[in-house]
Amino acid sequence: MKRINICFLFMLVSISSMGQGWNWLNPLPTGNPLQSVDFVSSGTGYAVGGMGTISKTSDGGMHWTLQNSGTFNYLQAVYFIDLNTGYVVGEKGTILKTTNGGLNWVQLNSPTDQYLCAVCFIDANKGFITGNNCVIMKTMDGGSTWTAQTAPVSYASLTSIFFADQYTGYASGDNGTILKTTDGGDTWSSLISGTSRTLSSIYFCNADTGYIVGSGIILKTSDGGSTWINKIPGSVSSLCAVSFWDVNHGVVAGDVVLNTSNGGDTWTTQTLPDVYQISSVSFPAPDTGYVVGDRGAIFKTTDGGNNWIGQSPGTRNSINGVSFPCESISNGFAVGQNGLVMKTTNGGTEWTTMNSGTTTWLISVRFLTPDLGFVAGGPGLILKTTDGGVAWTTLNTGTIQMLNAISFPDVNSGYAVGDTGTIIKTSDGGIHWTTLESGTLYNLYSVFFTDKNNGIAVGGKPGYSHYSVILRTTDGGTNWVAPDGYLGGYQLNSVFFPDNNTGYVVGENGQISKTSDGGATWTLLTTGNSKDLHAVYFSDPDHGYAVGVQGRMIKTTDGGATWIELNPVTYSQLNTVFFTDANTGYAAGEDGTLIKTTDGGGFPVSIKNETESTMPLEITPNPAGNFIILNTHVKGRIFIIDSKGHVLMEQEIYDPTTNVDVSSLSKGLYIIKLVGNKEVHVGKIIKQ
């Protein structure tokens, strides 16, 4: 029995560190905003940012690996003392520490729930954190305990802190705030900055010479902060970061990147390969430095900031459609902004950009076979390939309207819908297209045909509660009618049918409706969230997913009767979702966001809620046969997880005693997690 318990503990640790849910495919290593970068050596560096992102490189930025931070909180700053020991701070008073180079991160006790903006250590034990509302905290024991320091200002957010030596330190923040300590942080005094602007980042070359940047300002002092001179070169709206590797050579960055070789007397504007807002800069060696910023941007220079090379590959064009022909696990396509067409032949691990022959928006993609595919966009654009995307032919559609969606129930019969009620049809594989009468002038955003005669088109007018459109045809598009009894609602953005009778539509205000009679009638479902949904996909009549604004992802395993909010992994709007089976799926959206899951989207939001308590779950019999009994006072949903972290089964729990059929499970050891509103119960079973 002791051996089993040890194995079980190992499984829990392994599963919790596997990064279940969704993994980034594009951009790499992440598309989330990166807020801070720190290189502890020429090769080893860390970047942190949104959605609890921590990324590490050990080869000078050539490759980056995402680490498990254990939180979805926004992480604002990172600081490493040596190769192994580092700290990260962020929203809700988050303080994280690692002692093994990021293999594990531990959340430290924090005496505040304020947003924490900066962290700095003088030695292995003594460190400081600053944050909103004048927070200054000090530790003398490597972060085990923190004590509040008194700031000589009120209400300012202290966004940056820097120690030039063990006694002399500076902090900066809102309203031109600059603070200084000369006794190792025991007391702080205010300095006169001469400005009321926000001062975002501070760097001192020595105890006397330092720089502070902020909203359209570069301040320099040569006398330990007694006087400050503005060194801004012309009109610069926002600077967020500063770093120098000697008293003359340095880089400042924000909405531009500037470098100087004469102590800030003159600055040269440098150009990045794309437009990014830079948040942080780190120079581990003379001339060699890194900047990070929004949309996962990482750039490196080896010549003092004169030239910058991207370290975060992938497109930042919005991705609007994904298709894997015949639900292939390997071959897939993604389309989007600026004529983007990408192809993968290994399940999304690598993507190749194809030549689409256009730079316009591509919105919808449908592949019927690995070779035969269609893409719709605008204005009036439909592309066709017969060789797996190598070559594309522009079809004559007869319309100039934006085409928002395309559906091919077979290789010959196809439909596309678009703005101002546009519906067009082909019966010969796209050679000829006929304009159909829709009866509406509202934009149509999605269309789905279960066969060449029966189809649904949806759309509406954005922002209005009674201007949605559902149109149904049963005669191949000759006639389109609204469903019986449909009263309208917010704009509808997507429609999907897993079989001939069962269909779903999603749209603005989080609305979801379902039909069980081929679209003749619709029933409004409840999700409990009013955030807009932009796409829906079902792998079978029971298992479905919908995605939308702010990275929202929801899931059902019971045909829409209940919906689970999944842990988001991005702030970007998600425009499309596609699943090749119940567990393996892709979602994509703005800023090139492309993510993949192999475990059905991971756990619901509440399973990662750090305020929850985790308690044992009573399960009998154990070892188990084909059925188990759960005894619990908690109502919620159970997840049965294998040793690889895959969610194999889910079931709602309503009663104190519940029988669960586990006959489909193979012999082995499994984790069972019961997720309630405020509690998570965990247990194990051995299936015989």
Long-range contacts of 95-101 (CB under 8 A, 24+ apart): 95/119, 95/129, 95/143, 95/146, 96/54, 96/69, 96/70, 96/71, 97/142, 97/143, 101/44, 101/56
Residue 448, CB-side half-sphere exposure with 13 Å CA sphere: 23
The closest alpha carbon to 16, from 53, 95, 71, 90, belongs to 71
Q: How many CB atoms lie within 10 A of CB 646?
A: 15
The conformation of residue 1, written as its DSSP 8-state character, comes to -
Q: What is the pLDDT at residue 679?
A: 66
Q: Which of 41, 118, 111, 115 lies closest to 83 in space, CA to CA?
A: 41
Count CB atoms within 10 A of the CB of residue 625.
10
Q: Which residues of the chain have pLDDT under 50?
A: 1-19, 607-613
For position 617, what pLDDT does the model report? 82
The encoded tokens of residue 678 equal 């405020």
Containing 54, the helix (H) or strand (E) segment is strand 54-57
Inter-residue contact 433 to 398 (CB < 8 Å)? yes
Cα 24 from Cα 66, distance rounded (Å): 9
Sorted by where each starts, the structural domains of the chain and their CATH numbers stand as 34-149 (2.120.10.10), 319-602 (2.130.10.10), 612-687 (2.60.40.3080)
Q: Tell me how far apart the alpha carbons of residues 677 and 682 are, in angstroms, rounded to a whole number.
A: 15
pLDDT recorded at residue 677: 61
Distance CA 128, CA 60 (A): 27
Residues facing residue 340 across a β-bridge: 336
- Check residue 611 and give its pLDDT: 35
Residue 47 is which amino acid? A
Return the pLDDT at 272: 83
Buried b (16+ CB within 10 A) or exposed e, 557-587: bebbeebbbbbbbbbbbbbbbbbbebbbbbb
The pLDDT tens digits for 127-169 are 999 999 999 999 999 999 999 998 898 778 999 999 999 999 9
Tell me the pTM: 0.85
User: What pLDDT is recorded for position 4?
Assistant: 30
Tell me how many degrees the CA angle 266-270-276 measures, rounded to the nearest 5.
130
Q: Alpha helices, DSSP H only, in 21-171?
A: none
Strand order across the beta sheet in which 544-548 lies: 533-538, 544-548, 553-556, 564-565
- Helices first, then strands: H and E counts in the chain: 1, 63
611: nearest Cα among 92, 220, 231: 92
The predicted pLDDT at position 683 comes to 84
Amino acid at 488: G
User: Could you read off the pLDDT of 52-77 as tens digits, one per residue?
Assistant: 999 999 999 999 999 999 899 999 99
- Strands (E) in 583-675, as ranges, are 585-589, 594-597, 613-616, 618-620, 627-631, 636-641, 647-653, 657-661, 668-675
Taking only Cα atoms into account, the Rg of the chain, rounded to an integer number of angstroms, comes to 28
